[in-house]
Amino acid sequence: MQAVPQLLEQLREQIGKVVVGQEEFRDQVLVTLLCRSHALLEGVPGVAKTLLVKAISRVLGLEFQRVQCTSDLMPADIIGTNVLNMATSSFNLHKGPVFTALLLVDEVNRMPPRTQAALLECMEEYQVTIDGTRYQLPDEFSVFATQNPIEFEGTYPLPEAQLDRFLLKIRVGYPTANDEVQILTNVQNGFEARDLESMGLTPLPAGLLTEAQREVKSVRVEPALFNYIVQIARRTRDWPSLSLGASPRAAISLMIVARANAALDNRDYVIPDDVKSAASPVLRHRVVLKPEADLEGLTPDLIINDVLRAVEVPK
């Protein structure tokens, strides 16, 4: 492991100039990028969800676009459309914001179902279809979608099929008291979240992320861990508090994230603790609680922890 530790160290240093605290959030965003996938960010407004993704895109030199979702957002608003050129009497493609490397979809649950379906194709196939013609998206394409866990009026809950396309569901909590004091200090000293140019962010070497992604793919997973991962997924399917368990895609995601966790720990092999630390962010949006379990105050994270305790850890 060379590229991954270098990427992690430099990214932590640069992002620390902009975002105070939120270390777990930052590392899980990096895991998403290392796995070339997508993440759902859940947290109240004002906890640096947008700021962190923008800062990471700037440090990594990745193109960034943002979509603010509303109830009248149409598929053409995000994927683009063909526009008639009056001078040549021909149609030209006007690309939408999905033609980028990092796409931040703000308040994704306010997006109507038809537009959600268009985004689903982008996330799964890395392509868009406009007037019957397919267009390939950039290889670096990643979606970071935010949703507010409090406000549900005027929203369209994401269907299970779309939730399953997100590699991780990242819970973004409040910063600590000391971090909040530091945030106020930074603002008093002139910090401006809308002006990242003045933050002195140093771009990372070109190609470092691509090399780190290759290293993550080369991390070894022993056969005993294959069975461990499968048993975790299968136990969720017959767990008494769950009406829907983890799919085979969830088991694949669990292995992929475990490899990234091992790489971040500067190892080229996976251990059971890598799988355990990946379980909650990978599975919490893929399992559905029974109504009575919800009424009892159970949460997906609590149940996932119970499942982990019930599955024998390989020696």
281 vs 22, higher pLDDT = 281
Beta bridge partners of 106: 68
> Maximum distance among all alpha carbons in the chain?
71
- What architecture (CATH level 2) is domain 3-209? 3-Layer(aba) Sandwich (3.40)
Token representation of residue 235: 């136990």
* Residue 270 predicted with pLDDT over 90: yes
- Which residues 6+ apart lie within 8 Å of 200 measured at CB? 17
In the chain, the amino acid numbered 277 is S
Q: How far apart are CA 196 and CA 283, in angstroms?
A: 34
200 vs 136, higher pLDDT = 136
Contact in structure between 102 and 61 (CB atoms under 8 Å): no
Q: Tell me whether residue 220 is exposed, middle or buried, using C-beta atoms within 10 angstroms of its C-beta: 0 to 12, 13 to 18, 19 or more.
A: exposed
Q: Does domain 219-310 have CATH number 2.40.70.10?
A: no
Q: Is 142 left (phi over 0), alpha (psi -120 to 50) or beta?
A: beta
pLDDT band at 307 (very low <50, low <70, confident <90, very high): very high
Compute the average pLDDT of residues 68-90. Answer: 85
pLDDT value at position 80? Answer: 87
Q: pLDDT of 23-63, one tens digit each?
A: 899 899 999 999 999 999 988 888 888 889 988 988 998 89
Q: How far apart are CA 181 and CA 89, in angstroms?
A: 60
* Residue 125 predicted with pLDDT over 80: yes
pLDDT band at 182 (very low <50, low <70, confident <90, very high): very high
Q: How far apart are CA 244 and CA 161, in angstroms?
A: 12
Between CA 49 and CA 60, with CA 54 as vertex, the angle to 5 degrees is 130
DSSP for residue 19: -
pLDDT value at position 151? Answer: 61
End-to-end CA distance of the chain: 24
**Where do you find CATH 3.40.50.300 in the chain?**
3-209
Compute the average pLDDT of residues 218-222. Answer: 93
List the strands of the sheet with 39-42, edge to edge: 64-68, 102-106, 142-147, 39-42, 168-171
pLDDT value at position 153? Answer: 62
Contact in structure between 219 and 270 (CB atoms under 8 Å): yes
Q: How far apart are CA 284 and CA 288, in angstroms?
A: 9
294 CA to centre of own chain: 25
**Where do you find CATH 1.10.8.80 in the chain?**
219-310
pLDDT value at position 154? Answer: 58
* Residue 314 predicted with pLDDT over 90: no
Length, in residues, of the chain: 315
- Which residues 6+ apart lie within 8 Å of 303 measured at CB? 236, 239, 241, 242, 287, 289, 293
Instruction: Write the secondary structure of 245-274 as one string of H (helix), E (strand) and C (coil).
Output: CCCHHHHHHHHHHHHHHHHHCCCCECCHHH
pLDDT value at position 92? Answer: 82
